Chain A
Amino acid sequence: MAADRIFGLIALITAVAYLAAASQIQTNLFSGEFLPKLFPFLIGGVAAICALTIVFKPDPDPEWPVAGTWINMALAVLVLAVYAVMLTPLGFILPTAIAAGVLSYQISPRAIPATLSGIGLSLGLFVLFKFALGLGNIVAYRIPTAQKLWDAFAILIPFVGGH
Chain B
Amino acid sequence: MEILSNLALGFSVALSPYTLFLAVCGCFLGTIIGALPGLGPSNGVAILIPITFTLGLDATSALVLMTAVYYGAMYGGRISSILLNIPGDEPALMTTLDGYPMAKQGRAGDALVLSGVASFVGAFLATVGLMLLAPTLARVAFYFGPAEYFALYMLAFCTLGGMASNNQAKAALAACIGLGIAMVGVDSSSGLPRLTGGNLHLYDGVDFLVAIVGLFAIAEIFFFIESHGKGSSLGVKLEKVRVPWKDIFSTKWTMLRASGVGFIAGVLPGAGASLGSFLAYMSEKSIAGDKGGFGTGVPKGVAAPEAGNNSAAGGALVPMLTLGVPGSGTTAVLLALLMTLNITPGPTLFTDNADVVWGLIASLLIANVVLLLMNVPMVKIFVRVLTVPAWVLLPGVTMVSFVGIYSLTGSYFDLLLMVGFGVLGYFLRKLDVPTVPVILGILLGGNMEDALRRAMTLSDGDPMYLFSSPIAVGLWAFAIAGFIAPMFLRGVLKKPQAITD
Are A and B physically bound partners? yes
| B190 touching A84, Cβ below 8 Å | no
| A47 touching B395, Cβ below 8 Å | no
User: How large, as a class, is the contact surface on chain B?
Assistant: 35 or more
Given contacts A84-B402, A107-B225, contact A40 B194 (CB under 8 A): yes
Interface string of B155-174 (1 = CB under 8 A from A): 00000000000110110110
| A121 touching B54, Cβ below 8 Å | no
Q: How far is the CA of A79 from the CA of B430 in the complex (A)?
A: 22
CB distance from B395 to the nearest CB of A (A): 4
- B416 and chain A: residue at smallest CB distance: A84
Q: Which of B176, B222, B453 contacts A50 (CB 8 A)?
A: B176
A9 within 8 A of B: no
B422 within 8 A of A: yes
Q: How far is the CA of A26 from the CA of B430 in the complex (A)?
A: 37
Given contacts A26-B192, A80-B422, A117-B392, contact A46 B399 (CB under 8 A): no
Given contacts A62-B432, A155-B412, contact A138 B403 (CB under 8 A): yes
| B412 touching A27, Cβ below 8 Å | no
| B179 touching A43, Cβ below 8 Å | yes
B55 within 8 A of A: yes
B17 within 8 A of A: no
Q: How far is the CA of A10 from the CA of B467 in the complex (A)?
A: 34
| A100 touching B395, Cβ below 8 Å | yes
Q: How far is the CA of A18 from the CA of B189 in the complex (A)?
A: 21
| A80 touching B189, Cβ below 8 Å | no
Q: Kindly list chain A residues whose C-beta atoms are within 8 Å of the C-beta of B229.
A: 107-108
| B173 touching A11, Cβ below 8 Å | yes
What is the number of residues of chain A that contact chain B, defined by CB distance less than 8 Å? 76
Q: Kindly list chain B residues whose C-beta atoms are within 8 Å of the C-beta of A122.
A: 399
Q: How far is the CA of A109 from the CA of B230 in the complex (A)?
A: 12
CB distance from B281 to the nearest CB of A (A): 26
Q: Kindly list chain B residues whose C-beta atoms are within 8 Å of the C-beta of A72.
A: 225
| B195 touching A22, Cβ below 8 Å | yes
Q: Which of B183, B194, B395, B403 contacts A135 (CB 8 A)?
A: B403
Q: Kindly list chain B residues whose C-beta atoms are within 8 Å of the C-beta of A3.
A: 431
| B395 touching A104, Cβ below 8 Å | yes
Q: How far is the CA of A114 from the CA of B392 in the complex (A)?
A: 8
| A84 touching B415, Cβ below 8 Å | yes
B338 within 8 A of A: no
Q: Kindly list chain B residues whose C-beta atoms are within 8 Å of the C-beta of A106.
A: 225
A140 within 8 A of B: no
Q: Kindly list chain A residues whose C-beta atoms are within 8 Å of the C-beta of B179.
A: 39, 43
Interface string of A114-136 (1 = CB under 8 A from B): 10011011100100010001111
Q: How far is the CA of A80 from the CA of B461 in the complex (A)?
A: 47
| B221 touching A4, Cβ below 8 Å | no
Question: Which applies to chain A's interface (DSSP): helix, strand, loop or mixed?
Answer: helix
Q: Kindly list chain A residues whose C-beta atoms are within 8 Å of the C-beta of B452.
A: 38-39
Q: Kindly list chain A residues whose C-beta atoms are within 8 Å of the C-beta of B215.
A: none
| B54 touching A136, Cβ below 8 Å | yes
Interface string of A15-51 (1 = CB under 8 A from B): 1001001100111101110111011100110110011
B390 within 8 A of A: yes
Q: Kindly list chain A residues whose C-beta atoms are within 8 Å of the C-beta of B396.
A: 100, 121, 125
| A104 touching B399, Cβ below 8 Å | no
Q: How far is the CA of A133 from the CA of B56 in the complex (A)?
A: 10
| A107 touching B419, Cβ below 8 Å | no
B187 within 8 A of A: yes
Given contacts A26-B190, A36-B189, A138-B407, contact A88 B412 (CB under 8 A): yes
CB distance from B467 to the nearest CB of A (A): 16
Q: Kindly list chain B residues whose C-beta atoms are within 8 Å of the C-beta of A36.
A: 187, 189-190, 192, 194
Q: Which of A32, A103, A118 contacts B221 (CB 8 A)?
A: A103
CB distance from A158 to the nearest CB of B (A): 12
| A30 touching B453, Cβ below 8 Å | no
* Contact residues, B182-217 vs A (CB, 8 A): 183, 187, 189-195, 197, 200
CB distance from B449 to the nearest CB of A (A): 4
Q: How far is the CA of A150 from the CA of B264 in the complex (A)?
A: 57
Q: Kindly list chain A residues whose C-beta atoms are within 8 Å of the C-beta of B430.
A: 62, 64
CB<8 Å pairs between A and B, sample of 25: A15-B176, A18-B180, A25-B187, A25-B192, A26-B193, A27-B190, A28-B190, A36-B187, A44-B180, A46-B172, A50-B172, A59-B431, A59-B432, A65-B226, A73-B222, A80-B419, A84-B416, A103-B394, A108-B229, A108-B389, A108-B391, A125-B400, A135-B55, A137-B410, A138-B403
Other A-B pairs beyond A35-B456, A62-B432, 14, CB < 8 Å:
A22-B195, A25-B195, A34-B461, A39-B452, A40-B194, A47-B180, A59-B431, A62-B431, A80-B419, A85-B415, A108-B391, A117-B392, A118-B395, A129-B403
